[in-house]
Amino acid sequence: MSFFDDEPDEPTRVTRPARPRRSSAGARTTHAPAPDIARRRQLALFAGLAIFAIIIIFLFNSCSKTRHKNALKDYNRAVSSIIQNSDSQVSKPLFDVLSGGGQTQDVQVAVNQVRLVADEDVKRAKALDLPSDDETKAAQHDLELTLNFRATGVRKIADLLPKALSNQGSAVDAINKIAGQMQAFLASDIIYSQRVAPLIRQALDDNGIHGQAIASSKFLPTIAWLDPGQVGDKLNPDAGVSQGRKPGQPKPGRHGHALLSVKGGGVTLLPTGVNRVTAKAPLPIDVTYQNQGENDETNVTITVRITGGPKAIVQRKRLNLTKAGDQATVTIQLAQLPPKGTSASMQVTVEKVPGEQTVSNNTAKYTVLFN
């Protein structure tokens, strides 16, 4: 027996097959969702984004439309404000003055004041903020044209007034030209009523805006102002435009004024004796007169003349119109006076008008002591 035969037999080992390893790639593949599930998730995400984008666009368009509607309303209100101002602050005072409504004021100064308002209306119109689209551009163009017609007409009338109110041969031509400017006022009314207002209304209707008031306008009070004869009768009847008379030729009938009384600084002046008046400038001289003729008179001048001091003092007031039979008082402010203690002569005269035959009651003289 060999040495190896004496050793006990070793137990037999059972070899198991090795367990296959799982790769990391295999693990990911095993847990990934099925392809159709991933596609559904992507479609749902895209659909959500699309809905969100649609909502944003809808809100943006809604806000944009609201802003546009508000801009159209604001524009309509602004136009209404300007055109109403043109009627009430330009047309009305202009024709009041031309008709003799302000008999104690200088007509040319009054019309020049109206001209400033008309020019300001043009500036306001040009500065308007227009809505973002082209809907109101045509209306804006015609609005500016309307107001330019009016401002230009007022300016030309103001320039023509000195001649139109005079007793010179140029009065008739000036009155005819003033009547011509009334055509511009009529054109402005037509442009506004036939173009500006309808275009604004169309823009509002196209955007679903209802219940908005659109201002109307009538700058020319009546077409009678287109007739030179009627313009002459209102502005300067003595020019004789309607009757074909020569400038300065009076109407038939009695003409003239009478001086009734005079106050100096509140003191009634008497033609006899010495009248004591406080020498404080400006000194108001209140002159009461009456038109004792059968005709209305235009361009009536009242003169106050003081002599006897260091220098003569003369102050005049022109009245645009005096009505036949009417009595009135006009105040003339004396900016300069003789020195205190001066005894001077004051002469007050309602100047003769064309056709006046009796002038003995037109003038009064007073002795005044300025203390």
Instruction: Print pLDDT tens along the chain (371 aa).
Output: 444 444 555 555 555 555 555 555 444 545 555 667 877 877 777 777 778 777 776 655 555 677 889 989 999 999 999 999 999 999 999 999 888 743 434 788 889 999 999 999 999 999 998 886 677 899 999 999 999 999 999 999 999 988 888 877 788 889 999 999 999 999 999 999 999 999 999 999 998 999 899 999 999 999 999 999 889 888 887 776 765 555 556 778 899 999 999 999 999 999 999 999 999 989 999 999 999 999 998 889 999 999 988 899 999 999 988 999 999 999 999 999 999 999 999 999 999 998 899 999 999 999 999 98
Residue 2 has a pLDDT of 46
b/e sequence 175-202, b meaning 16+ C-beta within 10 Å = bbbbbbbbebbbbbbebbeebbbebbee
Starting from the edge strand earliest in sequence, which strands make up the sheet with 363-370, in order?
274-277, 363-370, 342-350, 297-307, 313-322
Task: Classify residue 356 by its DSSP letter.
Answer: B
What lies within 8 Å, CB to CB, of 89 at 6+ separation is 114, 117
Residue 125 has a pLDDT of 96
**CA–CA dist 89, 85 (Å, integer):** 5
List every span in the chain annotated with CATH 2.60.40.10.
257-370
Contact 182, 231 (CB under 8 A): yes
Starting from the edge strand earliest in sequence, which strands make up the sheet with 257-264, in order?
267-268, 257-264, 283-291, 327-334
Residue 101 has a pLDDT of 43
Residue 133 has a pLDDT of 66
Q: What pTM value is reported for the model?
A: 0.53
Residue 51 has a pLDDT of 80
Task: Classify residue 223 by its DSSP letter.
Answer: G
Domain 257-370 has CATH 3.30.70.141: no
